[in-house]
Amino acid sequence: MPRFLAALVACCLLEPVAAFAQTGPQPAAPATRADALDAQRAARELALGVERRNWLERTLFFVEDKRVIERLNPPEGFYPNLGSIRIGSGFGYGVGYRKRPARGRVLVDASGKLTHRGYKTAQTHIAVQPMAGRPVEFSTGTVWYDFTQEDFFGLGRATSRADRVSYRLEGLDTFAQLQARKAGWLVVRGRVGFHRMAIDSGTDARFPSVAETFTEATAPGLRNALTLAYAQTSAGVDTRDQVGNTRGGGFYNVSMGMFRDRRGDTFNFNRIDVRAMHVIPIFDKKRGIALNAMASRSDPVGDSRVPFYLMPTVGGSDSIRGFREFRFRDAAAVNLNAEYRWEAFSGLDLALFVDAADVGPTWRSLVGKNLKTSWGGGFRFNTNRRVFLRVDIASSREDTRVWVRMGPVFRR
Amino acid sequence: MTRHLHAVLLAGLMAAAVSHRGRAASPAYFPDDPLTADPELRDAAKVGEREISDPYDFLENTFFKPGDHANQRAVNVNTIDEVPDSSWFTNRIGVTPVSVADIGRGPNLSGPPAPGPWTVVSGKSDGITPGFTVRDQAGVLWFIKFDPGSNPEMATGAEMIATKLFWGLGYHVPENYLAVVGADDLVVTDQATIRDVLGHRRALTRTDVTDLLAKGARRTDGRYRVMASRALPGTPVGPFKYYGTRADDPNDIFPHEHRRELRGLRAFSAWLNHDDSRSVNSLDTLVATAGRTVVRHHLIDFGSTLGSASVAAQKPRAGNEYLWEARPTLLTMLSFGFWVRPWIKVHYPNYPSIGNLEAAYFWPERWKPEYPNVAFDNARGDDLFWAARRVMAFSDEQIQAAVKSAEYSNEGAAAYMTDVIIARRDKVGLQWLTAVNPLVRFALDAEGVLTFGNVATETRRASAPDGYSVAWSTFDNTTGLATGVGTTASVDTERAQAPAAVLEGEFVEAAIHTQHPRFPEWRRPVVAHFRRAAGGWRLVGIRRDGLD
């Protein structure tokens, strides 16, 4: 049937019956099923449209098509440098640039960032991987930072929230590092460098500056700018199934470091950090119990002292979560966490946790003491490979804290 | 009277699609009923290409419930409740003779890639599965996909089997072949390109080829088993959606969520664990046929079927729960995880080439794709009965032939795969052949003897019923009214004699109820209409009542 005739028939067929009653006789019904179907298609042919997307689909399509997410972290070129600089720094904005010469074996990266609380950082580093065809990475670089509103409550476990002061820490760390991974699970690392640091008044107007409340005796390093030469080595066993969203396996690491004052013998000290983290999976890893233990100690050499801002701390989103970040600080610290996690659906895990931690002049001084505790629950929004948003609500005798973090717990 | 009027309205659903706008009255049955092919006569040459956002498809179907959710009969079935051949579907298994060899061959009519090196046209470094587009020595375009290193033979094997079975079921699918290729067989020319992470197209290098090959499972001889998928004939214009119609296609008059072959795909997908049965795994192409251009609708990419999730073994959640589902999520949250999803405890045998597939826990009714699909949601008992008949039409030997095409190197894995597909087939039959009155193959001979079959008992999914009762009527094709004749006859077998009075008209109606103590829903009648024809009576209408 010619198209125009079909269209004509279709138009007639689709007119309301009432209209036919007014304007003329009813059209003939189609003689066959095939005619009836074709009449409907002929009518549709006269009113064809184009496929359109609504605003949400357009937006998502744009994000996909233009690779917006990939551009936030491109393998090469300029990239937005977003996120916090360190705990308590606030959200930061910056820009970076990276290049991967030598067919991708070398990474050259430079970036800078400023947060809304005035924290600043700039860094450059070069990494080469693999070295000599082996899973060995060499990297060297420089990091400059200016932490404008660091918190300090005094040394020891008997400090009060009311003792909170603010200080500013500015530093420049220049380092070289070699890291090797053996058999996929043994990780060995060595790092040497120079670290220049200086203390100043904090910019948080709500609290007094550190020098107004503390002295060199109660806060070693308060009045000194110092330059440390340091060497650190660590060995760890890493059996985690996913580093960014561990559902099974663990990480056990011992790190030792020597820090020597380049301007005298005032701040020579050694440091040891021991960490064990393990996730026991239950039911195809849909549930799990995460256990985390950390112990740190900084020991002065001879009559030297340890700068208070380089002493181990507890408190915060990766430690005892019912207390502020850096709430307790001393020469030795222990931190214990137990977390029960269960998957609500593939994009969300929930958690219940208890934390216990304490600080003291030595590890021995912590034995037999009642540890400070907190407890709470949280949400971990994740993909299979990583937790991209963590919200923890924790309570202690002292405080109730809500933590929002872009990453998994126990990263420190 | 109401029932008979209703019968008229439903007997010609294709006609109803026309008549709802109002026009001169149409008969219940046209002379060409039942149609065996949908005459898609309109030229669709102006259909444009469209792409679908994968995340949007998830969000829309999970949270916004698109399309028409309605308990209504499929609108593209013919008057005997079957799907006519169309640009969507070609009747094969259960309708036309399909041999074991046919299933083993499937859609592969053109032959595998021509011998000799392949010229790489482009590389695919992102997406779910890495791969290449190549041209063989004959200039034919092929899409090349690999198995994941953790599961050699898994994705390619699953795709081979699913391709053969979905072809047998009646869908348009690509020609897929297994091949073995070495790095030296891939020729990189100056014209080859690849998109980097940011989507920029650049020249493809030998290093890119090496990097892409490194993501695939390597054989002991250093070569790679690959899936070579022949480019579909015609011009691609993007995927189809499982709801609505394509605005620029004049032939696309039936809302997709009410197409039987898309509703029935739920049963087929459950059988073969095609949890990725989503728009993004479909493709429409413009093809020339009989002097016009039509849109042909294909199912593509069966890498995530059976026990495979393309890049890894299938997750236990797949087929058991949507990506996001409120009830189990809340139950798990509120019970602090002590409520355990039952599928978590399912055990899967350790066959890396199979992945995670089993038949013991599987139950067709509770099977789910990755996220809600309105066509699947709309599937009713008659749609799933239609689908289950096709699933049950596959013989063990045909399934073996499909599995054989996967060329598993582990005979135990091949036997396991065959056994699981057979067991899942039987469960599909048990679930959906028994959910409605399972009567089929109605015939009325010249002497007025009605015969029919009970497909549930024939396939041993149910025991023999206690009996059948047949209500006879004459049927007026113009008014659509049926007039009862005589009393309801009870019979013990699938055979009944029509009263002489009912055979005097042009049309005969037989409404058959089945009595079975275990299946009370079989009491809902199947209504068959016969039209007088040369030498006897011709079946023109089948309707399964009581599903609305």
Give the DSSP per-residue string, A165-203: EEEEEEEEEEEEEEEEEETTTEEEEEEEEEEEEEEEE--
Backbone angles phi, psi at B101, to 5 degrees: -65, -35
DSSP conformation letters of B401-445 = HHHHTT--S-HHHHHHHHHHHHHHHHHHHHHHSSSS--EEEEEE-
Strand B118-124 with B186-195, pairing: parallel
B517: pLDDT strictly greater than 90: yes
Neighbours of A288 (CB within 10 A): 22
Nearest CB among B24, B316, B325 relative to A29 is that of B24
Least confident stretch, A13-22, A372-381, B100-109: A13-22
Least confident stretch, A121-135, B376-390, B507-521: A121-135
Residue (of B548, B546, B526, B542) closest to B469 by Cα position = B526
| Token pair for A126 | 């070069």
Residue A379: its chain B contacts at CB < 8 A?
none
Indicate yes or no: CB of A36 within 8 angstroms of CB of B251.
Answer: no
Give the pLDDT of residue A27: 57
Residue A30: its chain B contacts at CB < 8 A?
18, 26, 30
- d(CA B389, CA B81) in angstroms, rounded, equals 13
Give the pLDDT of residue A4: 39
- d(CA A380, CA A405) in angstroms, rounded, equals 10
Cα R_g (chain A), whole angstroms: 31
- Chain-centroid distance of CA A271 in Å reads 25
Integer angstrom CA distances of residue A359 from A255, A268, A376, B100: 19, 21, 21, 76
Residue A49: its chain B contacts at CB < 8 A?
247-248
Backbone angles phi, psi at B524, to 5 degrees: -65, 130
Report, as an integer, the average pLDDT of B336-362: 94
* Segment A37-79, tens digit of pLDDT: 999 999 999 999 998 899 999 999 999 888 898 888 898 999 9
Q: Which amino acid is at B463?
A: S
A7: pLDDT strictly greater than 70: no
Give the pLDDT of residue B5: 37
Question: Could you tell me the pLDDT band of residue B123, with boundaries at 50, 70 and 90?
Answer: confident
- d(CA B276, CA B377) in angstroms, rounded, equals 16
Nearest CB among B79, B207, B317 relative to A346 is that of B317
Q: What is the mean pLDDT of chain B?
A: 92
- d(CA A256, CA A102) in angstroms, rounded, equals 34
- d(CA B275, CA B321) in angstroms, rounded, equals 10
- What is the length of chain A? 412
Element (H, E) at A372: strand A372-382
B14-28 core/surface letters (b: 16 or more CB in 10 A; e: else): bbbbbbeeebeebbb
B319-329 core/surface letters (b: 16 or more CB in 10 A; e: else): bbbbbbbeebb
Count the helices and strands in chain A (H runs, E runs): 6, 19
Nearest CB among A49, A61, A287 relative to B56 is that of A61
Backbone angles phi, psi at A284, to 5 degrees: 55, 35
Nearest CB among A33, A48, A74 relative to B15 is that of A33
| Token pair for A144 | 């400059």
Give the pLDDT of residue B125: 64
Please give the ipTM for the structure prediction. 0.89
Report, as an integer, the average pLDDT of A334-353: 95
Count the helices and strands in chain B (H runs, E runs): 14, 19
A261 with A270: CB under 8 angstroms?
Answer: no
- d(CA A210, CA A203) in angstroms, rounded, equals 11
Cis peptide before B517 (omega within 30 of 0): no
* Segment B10-28, tens digit of pLDDT: 334 443 433 333 444 689 9
Give the pLDDT of residue A11: 38
| Token pair for B130 | 């890495």
**pLDDT exceeding 90 applies to what percent of chain A?**
75
| Token pair for A312 | 């181990």
Backbone angles phi, psi at B416, to 5 degrees: -65, -45
Indicate yes or no: CB of B15 within 8 angstroms of CB of A60.
Answer: no
Give the pLDDT of residue B20: 39
Say which residues have a Cβ less than 8 Å from residue A202's Cβ, sequence separation at least 6.
Answer: A148, A149, A150, A165, A166, A167, A168, A209, A210
Indicate yes or no: CB of A346 within 8 angstroms of CB of B30.
Answer: no
Give the pLDDT of residue B436: 96
Say which residues have a Cβ less than 8 Å from residue A121's Cβ, sequence separation at least 6.
Answer: A85, A94, A112, A113, A143, A144, A145, A146
Residue (of A229, A254, A37, A228) closest to B18 by Cα position = A37
Element (H, E) at A128: strand A120-128
* Segment B465-485, tens digit of pLDDT: 999 999 999 999 999 999 998
Question: Could you tell me the pLDDT band of residue B127, with boundaries at 50, 70 and 90?
Answer: low
Indicate yes or no: CB of A283 within 8 angstroms of CB of B345.
Answer: yes
Q: Which residues pair with A234 in a beta bridge?
A: A189, A255
The size of the A-B interface in CB pairs under 8 A is 160
Task: Nearest chain B residue to A58 by CA: give it.
Answer: B53
DSSP B7: H
Total-model pTM: 0.87
Sheet holding B439-444, edge to edge: B439-444, B449-454, B495-497
- Please tell me which of A8-22, B48-62, B394-408 the model is most confident about, judged by mean pLDDT: B394-408
Q: Which amino acid is at A235?
A: A
Q: Assess A37–B contact: CB distance below 8 Å, yes or no.
A: yes
3-state DSSP call for residue B517?
coil
* Segment B65-105, tens digit of pLDDT: 999 999 999 999 999 999 999 999 999 999 999 999 999 99
* Segment A260-303, tens digit of pLDDT: 999 888 999 999 999 999 999 987 788 999 999 999 999 999 99
Task: Nearest chain A residue to B75 by CA: give it.
Answer: A37
* Segment B271-307, tens digit of pLDDT: 999 999 999 999 999 999 989 999 999 999 999 999 9
Give the pLDDT of residue B25: 65
Give the pLDDT of residue A370: 83
B159 with B303: CB under 8 angstroms?
Answer: yes
Q: What is the mean pLDDT of chain A?
A: 89
| Token pair for A64 | 């996909």
B237 with B47: CB under 8 angstroms?
Answer: yes
Contacts 24+ apart (CB under 8 A), B85-88: B85/B36, B85/B37, B85/B38, B86/B37, B86/B38, B86/B40, B87/B38, B87/B40, B87/B172, B87/B251, B87/B294, B87/B295, B87/B296, B87/B297, B88/B171, B88/B172, B88/B259, B88/B261, B88/B262, B88/B297
More confident residue, B12 or A397: A397
Neighbours of A183 (CB within 10 A): 6
* Minimum distance, in Å, between the CA of residue B400 and any CA atom of chain A: 32
Residue A199 burial by Cβ neighbours in a 10 Å radius (0-12, 13-18, 19+): buried
* Segment B200-224, tens digit of pLDDT: 888 999 988 988 888 899 999 999 9
Indicate yes or no: CB of A40 within 8 angstroms of CB of B18.
Answer: yes
* Minimum distance, in Å, between the CA of residue A291 and any CA atom of chain B: 18
Neighbours of A220 (CB within 10 A): 23
Report, as an integer, the average pLDDT of A336-345: 95
Alpha carbons within 13 A on the beta-carbon side of B236: 12
Q: Which residues pair with A278 in a beta bridge?
A: A250, A291
Nearest CB among A39, A57, A346 relative to B323 is that of A346
Report, as an integer, the average pLDDT of A196-210: 93
DSSP B365: G
Neighbours of A151 (CB within 10 A): 22
Backbone angles phi, psi at B258, to 5 degrees: -115, 15
Q: Tell me how far apart the terminal alpha carbons of chain B are, to the nearest angstrom.
A: 18
**pLDDT exceeding 70 applies to what percent of chain B?**
95
- d(CA A243, CA A233) in angstroms, rounded, equals 21
